Structure 1
Amino acid sequence: MKKIGVLALQGAVDEHIQMIKSAGALPSKVKHPSDLNELDGLVLPGGESTTMRKIMKRYDLIEPVRAFAKEGKAIFGTCAGLVLLSKEIEGGEESLGLIDTTAVRNGFGRQKESFEAELNVEIFSDAPFEAVFIRAPYLIEPSPEVSVLATFEDKIVAAKEANILVTAFHPELTNDNRFMRFFIEKMV
């Protein structure tokens, strides 16, 4: 059984744990660099990206997560995870630089502008995906290596590059585990 870690510093950790279980993998909470050992994949959950980055620095997780990806292990970032994984963050904040695109933080507005929307996702031909957007970012300026998986209002909200998968929304807050299944079955 594949073992998938969830960066357990902030955000929807428990929801991701449940989603990983529903997709048939073994979840594990990650709080320290040594927790990355023995993992097949890693999830960076939603939350607040600046706070998450600061906590990652405090726990010396920035370079180990980069190394994890450079080893070819898969990482799935949702919302704040997307922001952290992007090569650049509009406004110049530090990122992990693991997917060659730029993130626009809170691109759809603040908390009160949160919403749900049906998305047509390139990797799911069976039905639209009901996405939950909370202070959601979006992506701009993807390199040719980045596959755009979904857009909303002409903004990139799901993408993949090599072993990195990102969504601007929160699949873990739905009952639809297709993104997690795709991550575990096709990328890990």
Structure 2
Amino acid sequence: MKVAVLALQGAFIEHEQVLQRLGVETVEIRQLKDWQQPIDALILPGGESTVQMRLLKELGLYEPIREAILIGMPVLGTCAGMILLSEGRLGTMDIEVRRNAYGRQLGSFHTVDTVKGIGTDVPMTFIRAPYIERVLSDKVEVLSTVDGHIVAARQGNQLATAFHPELDDGTRLHELFLGMVVGRSDKE
């Protein structure tokens, strides 16, 4: 299994480190030629969604990545990555997202809560985090809410979180994602 991590900006190294601890091969996507190799899944990391979107378009990665997700490539979007998956950006996931929903850097926080499919006591680190303001179809399954706001959801092979699982010690969310990748491989 080879998981690509968008490495244009943001917390991509931390995702790579978690995947390496789980014994998964990773490849950084920095330009179109990086994308043109066999890849089983993709992680869109946290960072600056506006910068990441601009670079995706400038580097010719927007359409190929969008198309791969639409035809079923498993993708994990965390924080800015969740924003990228939403309506008005890549538009592959039927969600509307409120950017910086908890305020700026000073609004960052850590909590522990439940995520469907993982269990209880899941550590959640929110850094200038968004949340899902509105689910646009019944294809979207809400996996977690914190203080009444949707912070994790799944639609088919897309998994999105408002928090940064790569910044905590646990690997359960990445394991859930890798299970989606394996599940897709089993169907092919």
Q: State TM-score, norm by structure 1.
A: 0.92
Aligned residue number for residue 84 of structure 1: 84
Alignment partner, residue 33 of structure 1 = 32
Question: Take 2:176 and 2:23, find their aligned partners in 1: how far apart are those partners?
Answer: 11
Matched, 1:22 2:15: no
In structure 1, the residue matched to 2:132 is 139
Q: Distance in 1 between matches of 2:3 and 2:68?
A: 12
Cα deviation, 1:9-48, whole Å, max 9, x if unaligned, reads 0001110110111223111101123322301000000001
Residues 1:174 and 2:140 aligned together: no
Give the corresponding residue for 2:57: 57
Q: Distance in 2 between matches of 1:58 and 1:186?
A: 30
Equivalence for 2:99: 105
Contact 1:23 1:184 in 2 (8 A): no
Give me the identity figure in percent: 41
Paired with 2:41 and 2:61, the residues of 1 have a C-alpha distance of 15
CA deviation vs aligned residue, 1:82-134 (integer Å, no higher than 9, x gap): 0010124xxxxxx0001101010001111111000111111123x31110000
The residue aligned with 1:91 is: none
Q: CA RMSD in A?
A: 1.1
2:101 and 2:129 in contact (8 A); partners too: yes
Task: Report if the CA contact (8 A) 2:99-2:131 is conserved.
Answer: yes
Matched, 1:154 2:148: yes
Offset, 1:70: 2.1
Aligned AA for 2:60? D
Report if the CA contact (8 A) 2:95-2:134 is conserved: yes
Q: Counterpart of 1:92? A: none
Question: Any gaps of 5 or more consecutive residues in structure 2?
Answer: 183-188
Distance (Å, rounded) in 1 between the aligned partners of 2:25 and 2:99: 31
- Structure 1 segments of 4 or more deviating over 3 A? none
Equivalent position of 2:75 in the other structure:
75
Distance of 1:116 and 1:101 partners within structure 2: 24
Counterparts of 1:118 and 1:74, CA distance in 2: 26
Equivalenced residue count is 180
Distance 1:67 1:83 in 2: 17
1:66 match:
66
SS in 1 for 2:103: coil
Instruction: Give CA deviations for 1:48-85 in whole Å, capped at 9, x if unaligned.
Output: 10011111111111101111112311110000000010
Query: Which residue is equivalent to 2:186?
Result: none
> TM-score with structure 2 length normalisation?
0.92
Find the aligned partners of 1:186 and 1:55 in 2 and give their Cα distance: 27
Query: Contact conserved, 1:79 with 1:169, CA < 8 A, in 2?
Result: yes
